[in-house]
Amino acid sequence: MSKHANHEVDVVIVGAGAAGSVHAAVLAAAGRSVVVLEGGPPRKLGDLYSSQLWARRLKWTAPAASDVGADGAGVSFNGGHGYGGAAIHHYAVWPRLHPADFRMASEHGRGLDWPIGYETLRPFYDRVQADVGVAGDAAQEKWRPPGAAYPLPPVPAFAQGQAIARGFEARGLNTAPLPMAILTQEYQGRPACLMDGWCDAGCPTGALANPLVTYIPRALQAGAEFRADAHVTRVLMDGAGARAIGVEYVGAGGVRHIQRARAVVIAAFAIETPRILFNSATDKHAGGLGNASGLLGAYLMAHPSISVFGMFDQDMQNYLGPTGGQLLNQDHFAKDATPGALGSRQWMIAQALKPNDLLGIAMSRPDIIGPALDQFMRKAARGLGNMVALCEPLPDAANRVSLGAARDAHGLPLAQITHRYGNDAKTLIAAAADEGAAIMKAAGASENWRSPIAGQHLMGGCIMGADPARSVTDSLGRLHDVPNLIVAGPSLFPTASAVNPTFTVHALALRSAESLVRDWAQFG
């Protein structure tokens, strides 16, 4: 296989998704030469067809990882591949972490602490929110941590949201508009959302904060170079094992390339990021880069979640609104709010529905087949309401990404995922299921039911921490033992909270990238 050596650049970034694109935009704007290597295709807005079938092309197929634990982590559904990564078709529910999420171990004696507190991240949340446009109602969202008001008015509640909200109210529970990185008015030249629930297929209008319309254009304008179909196999180290000197990747036609760089950012999402670090082992780092603590790959987390469904007699207009939902409830967000479990939980209420697909109408009752199905479909297309409970998984070192026996087309070991939910997570889910049934009943649903547990979002695997013996990176994502090798993305989370991770992924990436700019003398 031939090898092609490229000119050295300041920074090479692996992965053109949410985290990688923020790094690219900030570093390029500061005058650094930046190359972004993306393993998938060079997607553009025009590829985002309105179809749940076609949406499946946006997922990650190769290299595949095997899931061997008791509870699958949902690796195939949770990934993305190509410019924009998973964020190209994410649903843009963007709540912030709460201050208590950063102090779980010190306040409850279980879980882990973050090396930073909410106050450190707060200004970065505020700036990202202004950069991309987030819609919400800070006053009504009474659980919201302190921060700048939302730049945009909230997404509206349609018939489905209004009906289910009445159930919350009848049970003495609160709702507020769901905070979303979706434009409700024109913002910075991007148009407002049309509220038609095609978020999962990727939003081609630019209303949803998809990297193709947020940080990738900024990075390109500032001179960053993006290379698609560039699959990174490993990080290259200097002889002393002290510094990363670039990466190796396989480009079009199977040609191997070397990209030298003064700093390397790995933003390849929760499975591939630790896999690349394992596959980069050298004699000085026999267990993989960043693995002096033995914790590389450890503490993988997926949010345990369930959907709760209710059938209503009224027309719920359930095809309207964003796919992520219309309303939020965090009444049970305090870590000890659910008896018998430690952890937060939240409701996302009134997801827009399509007839087919994993989260569609037909799959809500997988047991119905034969002539009864069409009857169900016609009724549910009018009357189905739904909401999703997202619960907190405690970090468990036994849940992890490691290397399996299978190899990819380039001969490198594939990732293997070992994952199961702990008892706290199961108790939180059971409490949510009971509460959800009561809410649907109170809202007037003639019948209600719930889905099995599914894993949403992947986090952990390269956790940040203050103590190098108990974490992989510092709070900026720099490997404790290789400071010019930086991890970005949800891999860094030491705990998962019960909120969707991508707003926090952006805030962490902005903080990390700006620190690189500030400290560049150490790298250049």
Partner 1 sequence: MSAATLGRRGLIKAGALTIACMVAGRLVRVSPAEAHAMAAVPQVLSPMEAETLGHLCETMVPGARAAGIAEYVDSQLAADPSESLLIARYFGVLPPFRDFYAAGFAGLDAAAKAAHEKPFAALAADPALTLAASLLAGAPSGWTGPPARLFYLALRGDAVDVVYGTQAGFEMLGVPYMEHILPPRRW
Minimum CB–partner distance for residue 199 and ligand FAD (Å): 8
- Which of partner 1, ligand FAD, none binds 17 (CB below 5-8 Å, type-dependent)? ligand FAD
Q: Give the 3-state secondary structure percentages of the chain, helix then strand then coil, rounded to 5.
A: 30, 25, 50
Does position 501 interact with ligand FAD (CB under 6 A)? The reply is: yes
* Residue closer to partner 1, measured from CB, 37 or 380: 380
CB 397 within 8 A of CB 331: no
Amino acid at 515: S
Tell which positions 202-231 bind partner 1, by CB under 8 A: 203-205
Give 238-246's long-range contacts (Cβ < 8 A, gap of 24+): 240/284, 241/282, 241/283, 241/284, 241/285, 241/482, 242/482, 243/482, 243/484, 244/289, 244/482, 244/484, 244/485, 246/8, 246/12
- Which of ligand FAD, partner 1, none binds 39 (CB below 5-8 Å, type-dependent)? ligand FAD
Structure tokens at 353: 């529905």
- Which of ligand FAD, partner 1, none binds 61 (CB below 5-8 Å, type-dependent)? partner 1
Minimum CB–partner distance for residue 372 and ligand FAD (Å): 29
Under DSSP, the state recorded for 214 is T
Tell which positions 376-405 bind partner 1, by CB under 8 A: 377-378, 381-382
CB 458 within 8 A of CB 73: yes
- For the beta carbon of residue 173, count every other beta carbon within 10 angstroms: 17
* Residue closer to partner 1, measured from CB, 419 or 511: 419
From the list 80, 111, 78, 116, the residue with the least C-alpha distance to 97 is: 116
Amino acid at 133: G
- Which of partner 1, ligand FAD, none binds 157 (CB below 5-8 Å, type-dependent)? none
Q: Beta 384-391 vs 345-349: how paired, if at all?
A: antiparallel
Does position 86 interact with ligand FAD (CB under 6 A)? The reply is: yes
CB 179 within 8 A of CB 134: yes
Tell which positions 264-323 bind partner 1, by CB under 8 A: 319-320
Does position 490 interact with ligand FAD (CB under 6 A)? The reply is: yes
Q: What is the CA radius of gyration of the chain?
A: 22
* Residue closer to partner 1, measured from CB, 126 or 357: 357
Site string (147-186) toward partner 1, x via CB under 8 A: ----------------------------------------
Return the range that interacts with ligand FAD (CB under 6 A); candidates 165-173, 186-194, 261-269, 411-419. Answer: 261-269
Structure tokens at 433: 């299921």
Distance CA 212, CA 20 (A): 12
Return the range that interacts with ligand FAD (CB under 6 A); candidates 4-12, 85-93, 283-291, 409-417. Answer: 85-93
From the list 492, 517, 514, the residue with the least C-alpha distance to 504 is: 492
- Which of partner 1, ligand FAD, none binds 389 (CB below 5-8 Å, type-dependent)? none
Structure tokens at 486: 């930086």
Minimum CB–partner distance for residue 98 and partner 1 (Å): 31
CB 247 within 8 A of CB 261: yes
Which residue from 77, 143, 449, 520 is in contact with partner 1, where contact means CB under 8 A?
Answer: 77
Does position 16 interact with partner 1 (CB under 8 A)? The reply is: no
- For the beta carbon of residue 272, count every other beta carbon within 10 angstroms: 27
Tell me which residue has its CB nearest to ligand FAD: 17
Binding interface with partner 1 (CB under 8 A): 45-46, 48-54, 56-57, 59, 61-62, 64, 66-67, 72, 75-77, 81, 191, 194-198, 203-205, 319-320, 354-358, 360-363, 366-367, 369-371, 373-374, 377-378, 381-382
Q: Which residues bind ligand FAD (CB under 6 A)?
A: 14-20, 37-40, 78, 80-82, 85-87, 89-94, 200, 231-232, 267-269, 272, 276, 324, 457, 489-490, 500-502, 505
